[in-house]
Amino acid sequence: MFSVYKKELHSFFKTPFAYIISALFLFLFTLSLNRGLADINSAKMQFTFSDVFATNFFYFSFIVPVLTMRCFPDERKFGTEVLIMTSPINVFQFVIAKFLAIVTVFFFMMVLSLIYPIITAMYGSVVIPALISVYIGFFLWGVMCIAIGMLCASFTENSIISAVLGEAAMFILTFVNYFVKSEYFDAHPKLQSFALMFAAEDKFNYFAQGIIRFSDVIFFITAIIVFVAWTIISLEARRWKKG
């Protein structure tokens, strides 16, 4: 499993791909940060980065499919999927290795973003507990998005289609709380309550406010496990279908 993990990291960091994605993430982060600073009237900066991450909550949902779109289609394109599937590692290890590699890239991006609160703390003050909370929430949200993106990538042999499926899934997931406020859902309160259970943005907003609720942590962890499990099932079904 480690060999697949190492191979995936090599494919990210030995090419410009990971650095371009990280640069794009930091660029969007900078734009959000500048907007947050522009709204501060006090001579001394003091904020929690909640608005910055809330804005990037939307942007990042469109970056994730770019990270995940090649994880399985490229293996099929270059004919390496069959070799990996017949190697000593099983499908579970294969998926987990790829998943951890992409999460590592995401973690690398999160670490780079720490430069902003460090600079802010040098010239003002940062509410550390709230900052930690929003970082935890954003990380959990990002890992869940990665799990969804990998599931979408497992359905196709084309990386572009994989990205489109991922974007569609992220769009639905990001805006589900707005969809359920329509007249149709208002007329069906039980269905509305059920749909709101999957409103990830509402749960992230608690983290952004410095509130870590056990139920929200469980939601993200459960969703990650479920989507990774579905990815494993999808690849197992594909392997059995091909004999």
| Beta-strand runs (E) in 77-233 | 125-126
- Which DSSP category does 126 fall into? E
- Cα-trace Rg, the chain: 19
Look up residue 10 and give its amino acid. Answer: H
Q: At residue 174, does pLDDT exceed 60?
A: yes
Query: What number of CA atoms fall less than 13 Å from residue 229's CA on the CB side?
Result: 6
Yes or no: say if 72 and 80 are a contact pair by the CB < 8 Å rule.
no
Torsion of CA 130, 141, 163, 185, to 10 degrees: -110
Yes or no: say if 84 and 94 are a contact pair by the CB < 8 Å rule.
yes
Give me 11's structure tokens. 């494919």
Q: At residue 225, does pLDDT exceed 90?
A: yes
Predicted structure pTM score: 0.85
pLDDT tens per residue across span 119-151? 878 877 778 888 889 889 989 989 999 999 999
Task: Supply angle C-alpha 128, 203, 189, rounded to 5.
Answer: 155
pLDDT tens per residue across span 54-88? 666 677 777 888 888 878 877 666 666 665 656 66
The burial class, CB within 10 Å (0-12 / 13-18 / 19+), for 217 is middle
Predicted confidence at residue 44, as pLDDT, reads: 42
Give me 141's structure tokens. 């949200």
Q: At residue 203, does pLDDT exceed 70?
A: yes
DSSP 51-117: HHHHHHHHHHHHHHHHHHTTTTHHHHHTTHHHHHHTSSS-HHHHHHHHHHHHHHHHHHHHHHHTHHH
The burial class, CB within 10 Å (0-12 / 13-18 / 19+), for 89 is middle
